[in-house]
Structure 1
Amino acid sequence: MASGPWLERGGMVMSIFEKEMEKLKKKEGLDNLSVFFADYETFEEIPLFSRWKNISFLSKLTFNEKNKVLLESSLKMVDFCQKEAVKYLREDELDDYFICTTLTGWDDYDEINCLNANFFISRKKDWLLTHLNLSKNNSIEENLISEYLLSFSRLDFDVVCSNEFEHNKRVFVVNRLPV
């Protein structure tokens, strides 16, 4: 059995908080997939949770355990949205659809003992990525999130920051592009 908030089920490690995370998504309106495919002017960043009390079911977890549960849940939603995109977008719009997880709250994480997980969405991918100028900086924040990804074997994602990281602390967890 894995340590932390995980259960071994049929050879797969599953979060014991999956049901609570599903309730959270409903409470936050994230079960309405149209919010993930709306044509926002440039981009939208939608939080996984809007109130601290909405994640109170994670209160007994450590900082790292909470972040892992939130990150894993948000990445599953990113995966799901990428698969569902064909149902919501025209074929000529699919290549310009972008969704990833962002982690914010680096300066005040001690207030709730976790980071804020968000969904960063745009239907203007090329324009967005040009302006964000994402790159690996080997920062402490990036390394921490990379460790989380490694802990639940999500090697299909890269951890990067924008060129404005010092002023706007936001870590992006994006699908790794095929080489």
Structure 2
Amino acid sequence: MAAAVWMELLVTIDLDPRFKTELVRLIRDEGLDQFGELMEADPFEEVPLYSRYAQLEFLDTLCVSEKNRVLIRAAVAHMVKVVEYSRDYYEDRSCDYLCMVSVVGWEDSDGRSELLIPNLWIGNMRDDRLRSMRLHPAQSRRSEFVADALDGDAGLTLSEGLSHFLGESYVDRVYVRLKSMSVPWDQ
């Protein structure tokens, strides 16, 4: 397991009990409960927690920032389950599997004004096409928003993905992964 080092860490994130039934249904409706299908990627997949705003009507009583908090926490709680499944799936063979959450949708949002989209990001770290990917330290307000949503859970690591436009860099993704999962492109 060259790129993934498995260590036991306590992650305290769980589905919001007020919306647990609806969040489980959302995960099922998006096919994210099909763990076996989340074990392979070429070279990576980014699978959204939701695909239609209508799926989120159960959150209508919440403000936008609280909706984002519930969704980010749900994605991270589910990521932990996927990683646990992957440990059994890859138990007897070598793997370079990585599963993390990528939070996107920052173009017009600071997390408080528009809905963000948490995704399960799964990658095959043996694929040469991922060699140029770089994760950067979490330093922006966007990462701060995600860290706050996760109550600064010590079992998690946050990183940023940068894009460039007209010579300027900006954060287009905030990544969340288990601290026990190392990646070759941390900077």
- TM bucket (normalised to shorter chain) is 0.7 to 0.9
- The Cα offsets for residues 89-112 of structure 1, whole Å up to 9 and x where unpaired, read as 353334x110000100111348x8
Q: How does 1:152-163 map to 2 (within 5 A)?
A: 154-163=153-162
Give me the identity figure in percent: 24
Query: Taking structure 1 as reference, are residues 59 and 72 closer, same or farther at Cα in structure 2, changes over 3 Å only?
Result: same
Root-mean-square deviation (Å): 2.8
Q: Which residue of 2 aligns with 1:19?
A: 21
By how many angstroms is 1:60 displaced? 1.8
Does residue 136 of the first structure (1) align with residue 129 of the second (2)?
no
By how many angstroms is 1:129 displaced? 6.6
Provide the C-alpha distance between the structure 2 equivalents of 1:178 and 1:92, rounded to a whole number of angstroms.
17
The secondary structure found in structure 1 opposite 2:75 is: helix
By how many angstroms is 1:130 displaced? 4.2
By how many angstroms is 1:131 displaced? 2.5
Query: Taking structure 1 as reference, are residues 113 and 168 closer, same or farther at Cα in structure 2, changes over 3 Å only?
Result: closer
Answer yes or no: is the 8 Å Cα contact 2:100–2:176 preserved in 1. yes
Provide the C-alpha distance between the structure 2 equivalents of 1:135 and 1:127, rounded to a whole number of angstroms.
19
Bigger mean CA offset, 13-22 vs 96-105: 13-22
The secondary structure found in structure 2 opposite 1:82 is: helix
Aligned equivalent of 2:34, options 26, 29, 32:
32
By how many angstroms is 1:46 displaced? 0.3
Q: Which residue of 2 aligns with 1:169?
A: 172
Answer yes or no: is the 8 Å Cα contact 2:43–2:127 preserved in 1. no
The secondary structure found in structure 2 opposite 1:113 is: coil
More helix by share: 1
How many residues align? The count is 163
Q: How does 1:84-103 map to 2 (within 5 A)?
A: 84-89=85-90, 91-94=92-95, 96-103=96-103
Q: TM-score, normalised by structure 1?
A: 0.78
Query: Taking structure 1 as reference, are residues 43 and 89 closer, same or farther at Cα in structure 2, changes over 3 Å only?
Result: same
**Ranges in structure 1 where 5+ consecutive residues have no aligned partner:** 1-11
Q: How does 1:54-133 map to 2 (within 5 A)?
A: 54-89=55-90, 91-94=92-95, 96-109=96-109, 113-124=114-125, 130-133=131-134
Query: Taking structure 1 as reference, are residues 138 and 168 closer, same or farther at Cα in structure 2, changes over 3 Å only?
Result: closer
Higher relative contact order (Cα pairs below 8 Å, separated by 6+ residues)? 2
Provide the C-alpha distance between the structure 2 equivalents of 1:62 and 1:93, rounded to a whole number of angstroms.
44
By how many angstroms is 1:116 displaced? 0.3
Query: Taking structure 1 as reference, are residues 104 and 137 closer, same or farther at Cα in structure 2, changes over 3 Å only?
Result: same
The one-letter code of the counterpart of 2:153 is: R
**Ranges in structure 2 where 5+ consecutive residues have no aligned partner:** 1-13, 183-187
Provide the C-alpha distance between the structure 2 equivalents of 1:32 and 1:13, rounded to a whole number of angstroms.
18
